[in-house]
Structure 1
Amino acid sequence: MTFVVAPPHLTNAAFADWDVLQAETPDPPLFDPAEADRLPEPVRAWLLYAISPGTPLRRAVVLHTHGRIRLGQWRRFTADQVLAPLRGFVWAATAYLGVLPVHGFDRYRDDVGEMRWRMLDLFPVMSGAGPDVTRSAADRLACEFVMAPAVALDPSITWKALDDRTALACLGDREITLSIGPGGELRRVSMRRWGNPGGRPYTTHDFTVECLAEDDFDGITIPVELRGTWDGQDFITFSVDDAIFR
């Protein structure tokens, strides 16, 4: 399996993160459904739905997506993301202010978060770093582990069933709630996430991603139509066009 070429418009640090995070899972074991038996029933149902027996348990993924994001007003975008849950991510996108492209990225790795967005690669539109950006990016990473379901088997994640269709995942001091449909499909991911939606001061907010449809990629089923909200207000809707597990 060859490397996925990093998207353009990244800084040297973001390029380096991309290459590190897309490294192939070394000798991934094949999924044995019995491995899910130790997990609470909602999680077990989800994993049996999401991973076909005998599928390599790859723990990183490169996603190609498109959608709309609210930046003052709704803007269309295309994006490439490398995601290695428990380690980091780089989300590189092109959005549009009218007909003018804005290129940039959000990234997190080694306890460092950053965002950097420029119009025509010249004029700064939005950038940020520091403790607040890092904390918000780390919360985002915690939510997104569901896009690489094999990570749910990692012993560093502890699970608690809240009822027969809801489970709480604890990743360190972060708590993520998963809502599972009657067939095992992932319906919703939510947490109290640090952020500043709408430019307000940073604090914790209700952050929810609704999973509206799913598709199978080489034996792994993930959401492919998603809607994200802060405090119940839509801020992003997107579709996954392709997923390459690493």
Structure 2
Amino acid sequence: MDTGFHADGSSPVVAPHRASARPPVPGLTPAARRDWADLATVAEQGRPFGPELTRQLPEPARRWLDHAIRPGTPLLRAVRLRMHGRIRLGSWRTFQATQILHPPHGFVWAATARVAGLPIRGFDRYSGGDGEMRWRMLGALPVMSATGPDISLSAAGRLAGEFVFVPAVALSPAVTWEPADGDRARADVLIGGVTHSVTVTVTPEGSLTELVLDRWGAPDGERFGRHVFGARLEDEASYGGYTIPSMVRAGWWYGTQRWNRGEFIRYTLDQAHFL
């Protein structure tokens, strides 16, 4: 029996709005720049949020969204993020990044890290069903490049988990909700024809504390397959009527004895602009 719930906060289409189509971080290919511009072009704006939109959702999901979206806020489904933190590239390295995020359509994450004082610039992206990673030292020396079905499916899983940074997406037809228990709910996020199940944990006050999913990948040199992936959400901040996670630790094998090996990124959100 299907016990899923979803709510659609869409409204009639309005004129497209292009926001920050030119990414402020170097290192993107022409194709990645086009993806950025396309994802930053928003063709519709949802109706204002009200508590009536969450009444049919599982209690933890309702609690989160009533906390995360201020009443009367337009339901915007894309965001531009700026962040800084540390990423594991052999050892932990500092990085700064800017991301355009538009679930379920795609993302581009453009970042600069430093190894031995030398800049490594590049991007991870997913758009149109295709994923890619491309990183270069000093803008020329290849560090990592990868494409193909495995990379695309892994990137789609990342996009599914990051829907929590765009709370209005949780009310779209792309997300169907299932109850888990008093503190958790499961969001089935449809991306590229594949459903990714993301379980979120919510405090009594409505803050998110963690998310977990089985994500396709090959952590630590293992064969590609589904592995537990998760994020610990340690703080939050408010931008333009939305309250979203602002301190994140994420990686493979979340909640297991292998978490210390699987965790690969820790970051703090510096800015969010909803589109």
Unpaired segments ≥5 residues, structure 2: 1-16, 254-258
Q: Check the 8 A contact 1:25/1:58 in 2, yes or no.
A: no
**What CA distance in whole angstroms lies between the structure 1 residues aligned with 2:165 and 2:83?**
13
| 2:28 aligns with one of 2, 6, 10 | 10
**What CA distance in whole angstroms lies between the structure 1 residues aligned with 2:154 and 2:173?**
24
Matched, 1:120 2:138: yes
TM-score (normalizing by structure 1): 0.97
Instruction: Tell me the SS of whatever aligns to 2:161.
Output: helix
**What CA distance in whole angstroms lies between the structure 1 residues aligned with 2:239 and 2:209?**
18
Letter in 2 for 1:3: A
Letter in 2 for 1:205: H
Q: Check the 8 A contact 2:231/2:249 in 1, yes or no.
A: yes
Letter in 2 for 1:150: A
Render the CA deviation track for 1:24-50: whole Å, top value 9, x for unaligned.
352331111111111111100000000
1:156 CA drift (Å): 3.0
1:2 CA drift (Å): 5.8
Letter in 1 for 2:19: F
**What CA distance in whole angstroms lies between the structure 2 residues aligned with 1:199 and 1:147?**
29
Unpaired segments ≥5 residues, structure 1: none
Segment of structure 1 superposing worse, 87-96 or 151-160 = 151-160
Q: Check the 8 A contact 2:110/2:124 in 1, yes or no.
A: yes
Matched, 1:236 2:258: no
Q: Check the 8 A contact 2:233/2:249 in 1, yes or no.
A: yes
| 2:236 aligns with one of 198, 214, 218 | 214
**Pairwise CA RMSD of aligned residues?**
1.2
After the TM superposition, which residues 1-246 of structure 1 pair with which residues of structure 2 at under 5 Å, given as runs? 3-4=19-20, 5-6=22-23, 7-24=25-42, 26-172=44-190, 173-231=195-253, 232-233=259-260, 234-246=263-275
1:22 CA drift (Å): 1.0
- Cα distance change of structure 1 residues 25 and 54 upon mapping to structure 2, 3 Å threshold: farther
Q: Check the 8 A contact 1:25/1:59 in 2, yes or no.
A: no
Render the CA deviation track for 1:56-81: whole Å, top value 9, x for unaligned.
11000000000001111111100000
Aligned residue pairs, count: 246
- Cα distance change of structure 1 residues 31 and 25 upon mapping to structure 2, 3 Å threshold: farther
Letter in 2 for 1:101: P
- Cα distance change of structure 1 residues 2 and 139 upon mapping to structure 2, 3 Å threshold: closer
**What CA distance in whole angstroms lies between the structure 1 residues aligned with 2:140 and 2:87?**
22
Structure 1 vs Structure 2: percent identity of aligned residues? 47
**What CA distance in whole angstroms lies between the structure 2 residues aligned with 1:197 and 1:71?**
13
Letter in 2 for 1:44: R
**What CA distance in whole angstroms lies between the structure 1 residues aligned with 2:230 and 2:173?**
25
**What CA distance in whole angstroms lies between the structure 2 residues aligned with 1:68 and 1:104?**
15
**What CA distance in whole angstroms lies between the structure 1 residues aligned with 2:232 and 2:274?**
22
Give 4+ residue runs of structure 1 displaced > 6 Å after superposition.
Answer: none
Q: Check the 8 A contact 1:25/1:60 in 2, yes or no.
A: no
1:202 CA drift (Å): 1.5
Letter in 1 for 2:273: I
**What CA distance in whole angstroms lies between the structure 1 residues aligned with 2:267 and 2:139?**
24
**What CA distance in whole angstroms lies between the structure 2 residues aligned with 1:237 and 1:182?**
25
Q: Check the 8 A contact 1:207/1:229 in 2, yes or no.
A: yes
